[in-house]
């Protein structure tokens, strides 16, 4: 058997002499990756600097070694290219992340349950039973929900700024091409402008809170952070909340859009969810949504398996290192593909089938082959909150509406920044009861 790293760089398609594999990838991203997976196996090179990994064990290995052998990034700009700068940023972020974690734990997340439902009701009331673009509607919900979670009564204005920033981020997440941040491109200007406006608004909120009379602690994430870490500098508080707002907005909205896609095609399942929502356990103070709303939670888990919004995670090697028996060099990108792992028949029975029951059988999920929230030191910071919000929203939508979609059977998944069915439209028709 080969020793670690002794096989050299993994093989892969050579592609066009000038454009490499970019055109084939852009024409059909997932089709291209499936073909490469079939031809070259679980680890293959895309170009001289990029390697794809579709093996659960190796994926966990890379995610676990983030911070040592690999770096990741929070911003859309490629700070990873400056490996020392990326490492310094990561050290600062990891300490802020540790401080924030308890503010997003199970008890803290559960305290927001009622507000989650109120905000969803307000957003769907605004849709007034008319046909909507589902992703836009779900973003309106998740933006308000995460702004409210962070700032409570100080949240107004934040969802609009978040909306602008996500739109400004889109050109980066949709493109395979990277341009240096200093290039004066319109999309760079838009991004920096939107990011600065959000930062300025958050800074103003943080300063107002600090200036508030003692004893006026707020029951939100900012209140928690200021009480737990009074010495944390304002710019760190602001940038931490910036990351939480960004992480807690676009990705969960993409996941909810996929939930709606499934519900629109499964009126029988919607009926079962409605029965569960109206049933005796729904109003209990059970500590977990799995105890209260097991079917709704299973629908969310199955949706995250079939349509993981963060379908591709990127790491950059800090040093020369190994990927199992293969080797990569410093600066090489390693792309980890949750979507293909979640649909691999080696780990999942009937992998392409939407079957929430697989989460109700009591059998554990095949551990490393299930990573909608990532893994390792940079695992999703908001996974507990996200599971609660998504489960409550799934249950509530089924309880209150008949979900009708004119294009659920014709839309397709878009393998861009965040995986979601592209252009899904739906009407949430209030039930007359
Ligand atoms: C369905 C909902 C969600 C999914 C599927 C999801 C998925 C993920 C994944 C896969 C990562 C890791 C990315 C990587 O390793 O490259 C991540 C990171 C992150 N998520 Fe989530 N997320 C969700 C909701 C949320 C929510 C609600 C919040 C905020 C409360 C949040 C905040 C974050 C943050 C701050 C990070 C960066 C963590 C770090 O780099 O240390 N996410 N998320």
Q: Class for domain 22-426, per CATH?
A: mainly alpha
pLDDT at 217 over 90: no
Kindly report the backbone phi and psi dihedral angles of residue 322, in degrees, each rounded to the nearest multiple of 5, phi listed first.
-110, 155
Helices 234-247 and 158-173, packing angle to 10 deg: 70
pLDDT for res 284: 60
Residue 109 Cα distances to 11, 42, 103, 225, 282, angstroms = 45, 37, 8, 15, 17
pLDDT at 1 over 60: no
pLDDT for res 128: 82
Tokens encoding 349: 């029975």
Q: Give the confidence band of 75 by pLDDT, cuts at 50, 70, 90.
A: low
How far is it, in rounded angstroms, from Cα 393 to Cα 300?
A: 10
Q: Assess whether the C-beta atom of 339 lies below 6 angstroms from ligand 1.
A: no
**CA of 255, closest atom in ligand 1:** 1
pLDDT for res 312: 94
Please, what is the average pLDDT of the chain?
A: 90
Ligand 1 centroid vs 379 CA: distance in angstroms?
7
State the pTM of this model. 0.94
Pick from 59, 54, 89, 97: which is nearest to 73 by CA? 89
How far is it, in rounded angstroms, from Cα 80 to Cα 318?
A: 9
Tokens encoding 414: 């878009």
Write the pLDDT tens digit of every residue in 325-367. 999 999 899 999 999 999 999 999 999 999 999 999 877 778 8
Pick from 378, 387, 337: which is nearest to 43 by CA? 337
How far is it, in rounded angstroms, from Cα 148 to Cα 173?
A: 26
Best residue among 87, 373, 379 to mutate for probing ligand 1's pocket (most ligand atoms within 8 Å of CB) is: 373
pLDDT for res 364: 74
Domain boundaries, the chain: 22-426
pLDDT for res 178: 61
pLDDT for res 181: 61
Pick from 334, 387, 335, 342: which is nearest to 367 by CA? 342
pLDDT for res 72: 87
How far is it, in rounded angstroms, from Cα 416 to Cα 26?
A: 10
Pick from 119, 155, 135: which is nearest to 307 by CA? 135
How would you classify residue 295: left for phi > 0, otherwise alpha for psi between -120 and 50, otherwise beta?
alpha
pLDDT at 303 over 70: yes
Nearest CA, atom 21, ligand 1: 380
Instruction: Give the whole-number percent of the chain exceeding pLDDT 90.
Output: 75
């Amino acid at each position: 058997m080969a020793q670690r790293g002794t096989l050299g760089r993994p093989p892969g398609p050579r592609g066009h002499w000038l454009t490499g594999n970019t055109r084939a990838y852009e024409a059909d991203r997932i089709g291209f990756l499936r073909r490469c997976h079939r031809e070259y196996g679980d680890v293959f090179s895309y170009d001289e600097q990029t390697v794809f990994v579709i093996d659960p064990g190796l994926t966990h290995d890379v995610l676990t070694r983030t911070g040592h052998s690999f770096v990741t990034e929070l911003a859309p700009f490629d700070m990873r290219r400056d490996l020392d700068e990326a490492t310094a940023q990561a050290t600062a972020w990891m300490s802020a992340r540790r401080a924030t974690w308890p503010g997003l734990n199970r008890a803290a997340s559960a305290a927001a349950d009622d507000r989650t439902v109120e905000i969803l009701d307000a957003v769907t009331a605004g849709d007034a039973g008319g046909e909507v673009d589902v992703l836009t509607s779900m973003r309106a919900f998740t933006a308000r929900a995460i702004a409210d979670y962070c700032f409570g009564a100080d949240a107004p204005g934040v969802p609009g700024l978040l909306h602008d920033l996500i739109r400004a981020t889109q050109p980066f997440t949709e493109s395979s091409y990277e341009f240096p941040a200093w290039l004066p491109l319109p999309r760079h200007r838009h991004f920096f402008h939107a990011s600065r406006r959000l930062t300025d608004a958050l800074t103003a909120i943080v300063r107002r809170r600090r200036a508030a009379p003692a004893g006026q602690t707020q029951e939100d994430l900012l209140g928690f952070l200021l009480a737990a870490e009074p010495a944390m500098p304002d710019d760190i508080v602001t940038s931490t909340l910036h990351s939480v707002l960004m992480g807690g907005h676009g990705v969960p909205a993409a996941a909810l859009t996929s939930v709606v896609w499934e519900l629109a095609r499964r009126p029988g399942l919607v009926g079962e969810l409605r029965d569960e929502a109206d049933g005796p356990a729904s109003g209990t103070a059970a500590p977990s949504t799995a105890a209260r709303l097991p079917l709704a939670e299973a629908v969310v888990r199955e949706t995250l398996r079939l349509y993981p919004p963060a379908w591709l995670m990127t790491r950059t090697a800090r040093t020369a290192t190994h990927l199992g028996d293969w080797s990569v060099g410093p600066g090489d990108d390693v792309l980890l593909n949750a979507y293909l792992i979640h649909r691999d028949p080696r780990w999942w029975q009937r992998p392409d089938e939407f079957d929430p029951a697989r989460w109700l059988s009591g059998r554990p999920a095949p551990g490393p082959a299930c990573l909608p929230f990532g893994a390792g030191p940079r695992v999703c910071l908001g996974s507990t909150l996200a599971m609660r919000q998504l489960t409550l929203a799934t249950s509530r939508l089924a309880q209150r509406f008949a979900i009708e979609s004119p294009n659920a059977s014709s839309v397709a998944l878009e393998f861009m920044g965040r995986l979601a069915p592209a252009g899904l439209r739906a009407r949430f028709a209030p039930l007359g009861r």
